[in-house]
Structure 1
């Protein structure tokens, strides 16, 4: 991993060298401020004022140059526009070819400008982050709020690339007009994107998407997988992924994801009846459902560590544990033992291999397919969540074979045991263990600016604009980098974190807030789903079939909602705006769920549940997308990675939610609904307040 200062020097366009952010100077200033404050030579007010003035000057330099370059591109396009219609009327093939190449030239220069904006935005974010960490201020919050919201904002030119869109549109429209099938449409504004756009248009679109965080359904859905990316990948790293990739192995990972989610939710409609049949209270269903999540807290860690050495062996172990766990779950009925039931669910939780599934996609799927694989992972999870309850409603039977009972309570266990047995056989036959990755310590050769632009645009379009690239101590005696800054140590950043304590130290306030938001949404969803069978049976006397259909319908909303959000909403509003709005909608859903005074009705319950669940699903996508932007890139790999941290936060939320249901059961089923909603309400309000506090750092 290359320090940002060195990376900026290597990849900057030489003729534009004087217009980049002076990252080295700003870092020296931060170090000097620290020394001055330590000896009392300056006060905090002067430091804040002086540093703000320096940043304003740097941004003005960048923006004025950016506007100048946009003007030059606009003049070139205007000159080409004068030739355009005349050449098309002459139908001169050679002239059309020359015109097309001229437009492509403008396009490649535009790519260079986009890369210029990206590097400066990254440098600005890095130095703000460093200032906050060094002095313990919320300077970023103040600076972004005052500069970005001002009517004469120059900061928006850097982060929102205002004006570049018009140049992109002109290049795209004219190149499309010069293609062979011109005349089949009125314009690019009236027809969908061309099936085979010019390569430079594809590159520009990819670069703009990274800058603006523009997205589509596939990318938005893929963000739910929270498969974090390291810095801009090198071609050699992608070659390694190509060699390790095997379609059938990827498919087996996705099937594992699907079956595990089915396994999780197939017992939800019948868990209360099963508990009653074994002599326990109906609210013990919270422990029955949550015991799987309890075990998953521990299994996620050892599976994440195991995946450093192998993928096949942990998947085999996972299948065996789930096979045994489901068999015990089914046998608990004939053994009349709630203990066996809970042990069975614990075994199922110990077989959770979601960390392996994520890791396989991250390490063994080529970059060009990674977003699709991530979307497949999320789709498999959503489909499993919907299919679990749907399958449960089909098991309305009761018969015995020898001494084994098969009914709506035990059939989920027997069916899942058989499914995992079939999967285990398929896994043993078809899975191919990828070769172990060989780590090299050699540093790549200095990259040419043009190739950096092209590779970044072509191959890294799923990367966010503000990458968490790291820094290190400068050379030639210049104290360019902070020796005491763990994140900026080259030796440390070359390796992933090795303990949960080291991982926690990398969590900035923004990261902690986003993990808390993730905790909140998982808690609210688990409360809703896990207590559905008890609540609906008490208030509406719903049968198991009705509960199963209701839960299945909730699960089926995942993909349509993500289509709408990923295609439209996320491109109309900033992610932080969608995040805050979604949290408020979750709060509204929780408030509408309370039973106060008037008789509790089916429309009230179903409507509030739908608002809560859908809002939480929307929240999950934008939350994980923002989390990947603010989280350190050191957490993109290794055992204690960002995916593990988010999984642990979500799993802990489920454990606490299921425990809340069981504990609230002691107050009686009549008070269960309100008793479980009060903690949800408090956590949701807390997350909204925390989001507002860190709102301006989520850029």
Structure 2
């Protein structure tokens, strides 16, 4: 794997070389501090003070250069504004064209400055992660708390690029005014959705949004896909590889697999308790029946993730066959009067979970320019499947026999899904195209491009690598600075993906562990709410299967509207960590409102508390995964044991434990089921809030 600095070497701006963060020097200092502390030659407090001073100086160097460049850009815009004012008196088409091109030149220089800030922001995050890894994860919390929240914060200048928004607005407005408006007197402020049709402005907007972590609905929704994004910028060759491997129908088949699997997961929820009782088991055994699928998914996620290193088609075929068999077993369990066959059928369904393959295909084979949309499609397919599953169960109200096979509301979900997976298997066999493996692509001759586009020329040479190449630093390399610690800068082993679950776990910092705990908590709370809904509503409100199905379908349908609101508005008004903490508190409120205390349990109380809990958990999931991708090591962004797999395992284990909790609590009686299952949810939720407060300043 190419090192981070090496990867950006072809995009440097030589004349700005001395103003980038001196990442290599700071990395060496971290190593020196580690050695000095080991031999007791230096105290930790002196390390914090000395490294803070060095980091302050580096940030000040960046910020002063940034302010200087902002001033130059502002002066150029002011001068162009005077020329524009003169043209209003005496319009001249040729001079207007020259003026527009001059504004574009300013825009190109602004884009360079935005890339300059972005690379320095990435460098700061990386060196803070490295320092925390060496010294017990203390420094980032201290440094961000004391610097970012200070009224004279220079750190905010780097991470928020304060003031550059005005420059972006000035260029956008003036270029818009110089376009042929066909008699319109509207400005970008009157009608901001009007397209500017200028590639420079589009590039500036994308770069500024990426630096600001600005989101829209698709970005926010796509974060739920657990596809870990690396901070490094892609090279044009990588983008070409993506285009070569991309096949729309294959992507559609992966999304269809995602949708069908979620339908398969939730189609049995409204009837699982009735099915269990019809086979002579208690109603609360539905926890085991529902959770059996998640138990098997804990293991299937690993082998499907590993299998996708070699193929995408074969694991999808295997998944479809296993799910066909599993659903058939679920359906025939009624006529065999066997709870064991019922549970075994659900285990087979879990063994066919190919969600790891679906994510991996999007991550590896979808071009970068549409990867976020594909990720959002993955999440949308999951959300629609979650809503359609219970709704479909509510429609399957019938009772008849075909030969010796009973077709009723309990068995029909199994038969319907068996037929669905059989049709999917045929579609898959006909339409899926296996993408070339990376090793095969490397041997393929690259076609010569007709010539670089304007944007390619603009990106080429934009950013300076973090590993500076000045004479002094070259001398440092010659003096033997070739040792590497176990971090992302080593050229070989330490740049490779984790090769086992244990090595992946060793890469987790406390901030990452807290984010995984939060993910565990929200999945646990949601599973308790959904899986026991049929038992709870039957016991307290005597709801029919159709009413339970409608309730679950309505809850599932809130996913997309909630993400529209949060992704388009709330996430741009507040920091992710603020939304994270607020969402955790709201989940806790929903859990507290769900308890039955003294008074009779009512439908409004149940529906309101469930809605608060579910919606808050959905909001929490998006910001949780966004923060997780930022604080997680880049080594966990690829390979079999990646961050997405770790998150999936955390969520799946949470579902398994939640379903087991429901079954165990059932032995105490249905009257105590609600409160007994909510107590662990409350304890885990409060623990996650405390842990978030402890690591709050490291979530930057």
TM above 0.5: yes
Query: Matched residues in 2 for 1:271 and 1:502: separation?
Result: 39
Q: Does 1:145 align with 2:148?
A: no
CA contact (8 A) 2:488 2:495 kept: no
Deviations 1:176-202 (A, max 9, x none): 111222653521112133335310111
Aligned position for 2:657: 656
TM-aligned CA distance change 1:364 to 1:622, over 3 Å: same
Aligned position for 1:678: 679
Q: Does 1:50 align with 2:50?
A: yes
Query: Matched residues in 1 for 2:84 and 2:503: separation?
Result: 60
Deviations 1:420-446 (A, max 9, x none): 11111111111111122227899xxxx
Q: Does 1:3 align with 2:15?
A: no
Give SS of 1:438's match. helix
CA contact (8 A) 1:287 1:662 kept: yes
Shift in Å at residue 508 of structure 1? 1.3
Query: Matched residues in 1 for 2:480 and 2:574: separation?
Result: 41
Give SS of 2:604's match. helix
Aligned position for 1:18: 18
TM-aligned CA distance change 1:482 to 1:542, over 3 Å: farther
Query: Matched residues in 2 for 1:57 and 1:452: separation?
Result: 38
Query: Matched residues in 1 for 2:456 and 2:514: separation?
Result: 33
Counting only pairs closer than 5 Å after superposition, residues 168-317 of structure 1 correspond to structure 2 as 168-181=168-181, 183-184=183-184, 186-195=186-195, 197-230=197-230, 231-317=232-318
Counting only pairs closer than 5 Å after superposition, residues 621-660 of structure 1 correspond to structure 2 as 621-660=622-661
After alignment, is 222-231 or 168-177 more displaced?
A: 222-231
TM-aligned CA distance change 1:213 to 1:631, over 3 Å: same
Shift in Å at residue 51 of structure 1? 1.2
TM-aligned CA distance change 1:613 to 1:229, over 3 Å: same
Aligned position for 1:445: none
Shift in Å at residue 90 of structure 1? 2.7
Aligned position for 2:112: 112
Deviations 1:511-554 (A, max 9, x none): 11111111111001000000000000011111100000000000
Aligned position for 1:166: 166
TM-aligned CA distance change 1:456 to 1:260, over 3 Å: farther
RMSD of the TM alignment (CA)?
A: 2.3
Aligned position for 1:579: 580
Aligned position for 2:528: 527
Query: Matched residues in 1 for 2:294 and 2:126: separation?
Result: 37
TM-aligned CA distance change 1:685 to 1:479, over 3 Å: farther
CA contact (8 A) 1:273 1:282 kept: yes
TM-aligned CA distance change 1:493 to 1:33, over 3 Å: closer
Query: Matched residues in 2 for 1:550 and 1:280: separation?
Result: 25
Aligned position for 2:328: 327
CA contact (8 A) 1:487 1:506 kept: no
Query: Matched residues in 2 for 1:577 and 1:694: separation?
Result: 12
Query: Matched residues in 2 for 1:478 and 1:503: separation?
Result: 33
Query: Matched residues in 2 for 1:305 and 1:474: separation?
Result: 43
Deviations 1:155-174 (A, max 9, x none): 10011111111111111111
CA contact (8 A) 1:311 1:360 kept: yes
Query: Matched residues in 2 for 1:9 and 1:406: separation?
Result: 66
CA contact (8 A) 1:286 1:530 kept: yes
Aligned position for 2:392: 391
Deviations 1:363-385 (A, max 9, x none): 11111121111111111000000
After alignment, is 334-343 or 134-143 more displaced?
A: 134-143
Aligned position for 2:471: none
Aligned position for 1:556: 557
Shift in Å at residue 137 of structure 1? 4.2
CA contact (8 A) 2:537 2:548 kept: yes
Aligned position for 2:59: 59
Aligned position for 2:134: 134
CA contact (8 A) 1:635 1:642 kept: yes
Return 5+ residue gaps in structure 1 as ranges: 443-450, 460-464
Aligned position for 2:446: none
Aligned pairs, number = 683
Deviations 1:461-512 (A, max 9, x none): xxxx9x999xxx9973356575332543211244322111111111111111
Deviations 1:82-129 (A, max 9, x none): 111321443311111111011111111111111111111111122222
Q: Does 1:347 align with 2:345?
A: no
After alignment, is 174-183 or 416-425 more displaced?
A: 174-183
Give SS of 2:151's match. coil
Shift in Å at residue 559 of structure 1? 0.4
Shift in Å at residue 2 of structure 1? 3.5
Give SS of 2:401's match. strand
CA contact (8 A) 1:8 1:119 kept: no
CA contact (8 A) 2:267 2:389 kept: yes
Query: Matched residues in 2 for 1:76 and 1:248: separation?
Result: 49
Shift in Å at residue 454 of structure 1? 5.3
Query: Matched residues in 1 for 2:688 and 2:182: separation?
Result: 52
CA contact (8 A) 2:588 2:682 kept: yes
Shift in Å at residue 38 of structure 1? 2.9
Query: Matched residues in 2 for 1:294 and 1:656: separation?
Result: 9
Shift in Å at residue 37 of structure 1? 2.3
TM-aligned CA distance change 1:9 to 1:259, over 3 Å: closer
Shift in Å at residue 406 of structure 1? 0.7
Counting only pairs closer than 5 Å after superposition, residues 488-507 of structure 1 correspond to structure 2 as 488-507=489-508
Return 5+ residue gaps in structure 2 as ranges: 444-451, 468-473
Query: Matched residues in 2 for 1:93 and 1:430: separation?
Result: 53
CA contact (8 A) 1:207 1:457 kept: no
TM-score normalized by the length of structure 1? 0.94
CA contact (8 A) 2:489 2:495 kept: no
After alignment, is 8-17 or 550-559 more displaced?
A: 8-17
TM-aligned CA distance change 1:325 to 1:440, over 3 Å: closer
Shift in Å at residue 458 of structure 1? 7.5
Deviations 1:619-677 (A, max 9, x none): 11111111111112222222111111111111001000000000111111000000000
Give SS of 1:476's match. helix
Give SS of 1:634's match. helix
TM-score normalized by the length of structure 2? 0.94
Aligned position for 1:409: 410
Query: Matched residues in 2 for 1:474 and 1:629: separation?
Result: 33
TM-aligned CA distance change 1:28 to 1:422, over 3 Å: same
CA contact (8 A) 1:204 1:457 kept: no
TM-aligned CA distance change 1:482 to 1:146, over 3 Å: farther
Give SS of 1:187's match. coil
